[in-house]
Every structure is written in C-alpha cells, then in structure tokens.
Homo-oligomer: A and B are copies of this chain.
Amino acid sequence: MSESFTPTERTRVVREPQRGAYDRETVYRILDEGLVCHVGFSADGQPFVIPTLYARIGDAIYFHGSAASRMLRSLGVGANVCLTVTHTDGIVLARSVFNHSMNYRSVVALGQATIVEAPAEKLEALRAFTEKILPHRWSDARQPNEKELKATSILRLPLTEVSAKVRVGPPEDDTPDYALPIWAGVIPLRIVADAPIRDERCDPGIPLPEYVACYRA
C-alpha cells in the first residue's frame, strides 16, 4: 500500500496549498481522533450535511446510515458522498482582522457510499464505532442481537479520493503589521471529558469501570 493518497482535481487543496496533506499517517490520525463526522449528499438538487458517528477500518470509513436516510431513500446504493472530519485546535489572533484564523485539522473524503449488507461486516463496523467512542466498551456492553443488527443501517465509504488540511502555529500577519502594538498569538482549544454521570437507573452497586473513569477525550 502506498504511503500517500493521490490527490485528484477534486481533492487537491487549492487555497493555502501548503496546508494540504495526502499521506495516510496524517489522514488516519485525524480520522481516528474524531467522534463525529459530517456527511454530505444531495437529494433533488439540495445538498444535506448531517453529523453522524463513524469509524475507520483500514482504508474504509463506516458511518451510521440512518443519518443519511434521506439519501438512502432518494438515491439508494452507490450515492456520491463527501465525508468531512474537523478538529478545531485553536483561535489564531492576528494583528489585522483580515488575518484572524483558526488552527484546525480536517479530512475530506469523496466517493460512493454503499450499504453494508453482510452481518459479519456490520458487526465489525459496530464494534469499531463502539471502541472508537470508548475503548474497551465493546466487550463490556450487551452485544447486538440479530434483530438489532438488521435494524442497523451502516454505510461504507472506501478511502480513495481523500485529502487533509492542517493549519498550525502562530498568526501570519503582513510584514508592516508586526510593528503594531497589538497582542497576537493563539488560544489553544481542546475537548475534555468531565466526570462520568451514572444513569439514575444504574444500580449503585455496579462499579464504575476503569476504562470509563480513566477516559480522556
């Protein structure tokens, strides 16, 4: 397997091309860190963008198809989709309003999504979702039964046309602006997990699992 995806006319980063990345390591890391993706598809000429859970297995992304029920109804299998994952890492305060920005890492994947039919592949995708939400959860929770597996609609998007875009570092101001007496820098942002909240209907005798207590976003 090649170390990089080949940029196409549709995935090559046009604006700020120095921020583009196509290597699998960067793409995988961004995808594997996120919990929610935004899936785009069209129905009757209208684009829709729906947030949904996803997971990567190798060079395929699996995502919950129920979120794309409009797409499934309208287009059936083989629908063109765009799946985007974005992490916002910081607020970039430049001296000029014009150069204000965000530090971010995003992946955009284009292609045709197909419905996963095979029960074994569905189960594997569900396992990946669950382990992505919270490592070690899969073996602790009640496994899906046949009826649930049937009711679960999962789509697969092969990772073929894909690019990442990454902005890191300090603001980039126009040369004369560096002399201005304006504070400039970055406010880093990150997602944190607060203390777990036990379901009121969860028996207090059931201990908080280590993998829940230790979770860090």
Q: Which residues of A contact B (CB under 8 A)?
A: 10, 14-15, 35-36, 38-42, 45-51, 53, 66-67, 69-70, 80-84, 86, 88, 91, 93-98, 100, 102, 104, 106, 108, 110, 126, 129-130, 133-134, 137-138, 140-144, 148, 151-152, 170-171, 177-178, 180-203, 206-209, 212, 215, 217
Contacts and interface: CB of A to CB of B under 8 A. Distances in A.
- Top 10 A-B residue pairs of the complex, sorted by shortest distance between their CB atoms: A40-B49, A40-B40, A40-B47, A49-B84, A38-B38, A51-B86, A98-B148, A188-B194, A96-B142, A184-B199
Contacts of A108: 48-50
A46 to B, nearest CB: 5
24 contacts: A15-B67, A40-B49, A40-B82, A46-B110, A48-B108, A49-B108, A50-B84, A95-B141, A97-B138, A97-B144, A98-B144, A98-B148, A98-B152, A100-B141, A134-B187, A140-B182, A140-B183, A178-B201, A181-B203, A183-B209, A184-B199, A184-B201, A187-B197, A190-B191
* Copies per assembly: 2
A108 B196 CA distance: 29
Interface of A is mostly: mixed
B144 A126 contact: no
A196 B189 contact: no
B192 A186 contact: no
A14 B43 CA distance: 15
A171 B199 contact: yes
